[in-house]
Chains A and B, each alone.
Chain A
């Protein structure tokens, strides 16, 4: 079997000859002539396959994709065709001012995205680079509309160049940023522009300003992804866990302010809550199912972020664990997704998005990751906070036993210290020099973005995410 690889430079289809002729090669002047012929003796199956091959070659010509045509050593009649042998994968349409991402493997940190058109080369610095993925929050409109060759390039490293068509607009309503594990129901994080805000008193709905602030929405999504995937806390990227996570955005500026479209409610004086029971039906309208929904809103009066825990579906499979000898479950499928309400004006020097993600990714009934910056309980089973009978009692050395491993307590609450009146205490930190990511990380001596979780929360959330990701 021989193979001929190249662009489909020229094709002719002839009903009279019952055949298609394809000139395949690197340039119009250097081609091999190959053909596909319909024969009276062809079975129905073979005839249909030949039609599909011809179809594929027509699409390849239009897209400027290289094809590989396999044929007998001594014949120009095509037996097989193959399309799509690139080492990177542009995801979705390239649209000015929309998100844009490209996947691949072994992508270096200092990579740039290069768009080559007939007369111009535009280099774009990605906002986020992971070994398997680069992400741009807004595709610059300096890139010429029409056919471009896109590639990733770094000193001493370059990818294949993939032909793409760049569009002037409009930006997509639903945008897959990364498609996650190739499996049923991949663990999905959705970033949604909240269409409407319910008043604190309830029952009245106003348009969320975020729907007229698309650029700020993009910036906020970029911030969320950055804190979740690139800062010191590696919860979501440890062992390349994020290669399995699907990320998607929804921005639908056509929606009116009503009960069905409202995903957030004010809580005075300045908090915004997600309307967690509305999330699943809202996403379903866009054929989406998510494990975590980051609701991005444009309120400037209720701009303090909050989160609601996931409620796992107790009737679906889960992964068992023990906490202080009690049998519990990391549920695999959410009945109600975890969620967080994040203002698009969020202070990007802090860890708000990842902090709220950790709340939301924990479970309402089988272990909540709770706030450590105040003394109170959540009202349920808190994984990361315990209480002494009296504030004068010593903090126990051992905080908890998770899956047979003992975890110590944080005796000093980093350098912040436990206020004298507090009865609560926390698990030992991964980085004892900085506050816990679930505590008041704004008090970090250098930057809040270097704060990490405690080891217990990290291990439990890691197991929980793995249980869901590999369900």
Chain B
């Protein structure tokens, strides 16, 4: 399991997926995705990413080593 750490630089929400760019600068990011948001928590992950983006908070996004599908996020106390 990998955990990408950084600032949420950008978030796009489409009808059946959301993708986010996480990294220290707008030019140095990892692209991660949330696909099946029909589950309650997956949808909340997208909402939490939006909150982290506007609050400039660092997050940790968990995903498998070989793909960018976010399975959890961690936002530590500031």
Contacts and interface: CB of A to CB of B under 8 A. Distances in A.
Given A45-B37, A88-B26, A178-B24, A52 B55 contact: no
Interface string B1-43: 0111111111111111010011111111110000011100011
Nearest to B74: A287
B30 to A, nearest CB: 4
A86 interface: yes
Interface string A272-296: 0000000000000011000000000
Interface of A: 43-46, 48-53, 55-56, 59-60, 62-63, 65, 79-93, 103-105, 132-133, 164, 172-176, 178-186, 243, 246, 286-287
A132 B23 CA distance: 12
A55 B5 CA distance: 23
B38 A48 contact: yes
A51 B50 CA distance: 12
Contacts of A104: 25-27
A80 B2 contact: no
Contact of B27 (A65, A105, A172): A105
A79 to B, nearest CB: 6
Interface residues of B, number: 45
Contact of A184 (B5, B12, B26, B27): B5
Given A44-B38, A52-B43, A92 B26 contact: no
Contact of A182 (B4, B13, B50, B77): B4
Contacts of A105: 25-28
Given A55-B50, A93-B78, A48 B30 contact: no
A79 B18 CA distance: 12
B56 A52 contact: no
B73 interface: no
Contacts of B57: 92
Nearest to B62: A184
Given A65-B54, A89-B26, A179-B58, A55 B4 contact: no
Contacts of B53: 59, 83-84
A84 B51 CA distance: 11
Contacts of B25: 89, 103-105, 132-133, 243
18 contacts: A52-B50, A79-B15, A80-B12, A82-B13, A83-B12, A83-B54, A89-B7, A89-B25, A93-B55, A93-B78, A105-B26, A172-B78, A176-B58, A179-B5, A179-B6, A179-B23, A243-B28, A287-B74
B47 A55 contact: yes
A133 B24 CA distance: 9
A53 B17 CA distance: 11
A236 to B, nearest CB: 15
Given A63-B54, A92-B78, A183-B30, A84 B6 contact: no
A243 B15 CA distance: 35
Contacts of A176: 58
Contacts of A183: 2, 4-5, 30
A59 B53 CA distance: 10
A246 B15 contact: no
A246 B28 CA distance: 13
A182 B6 contact: yes
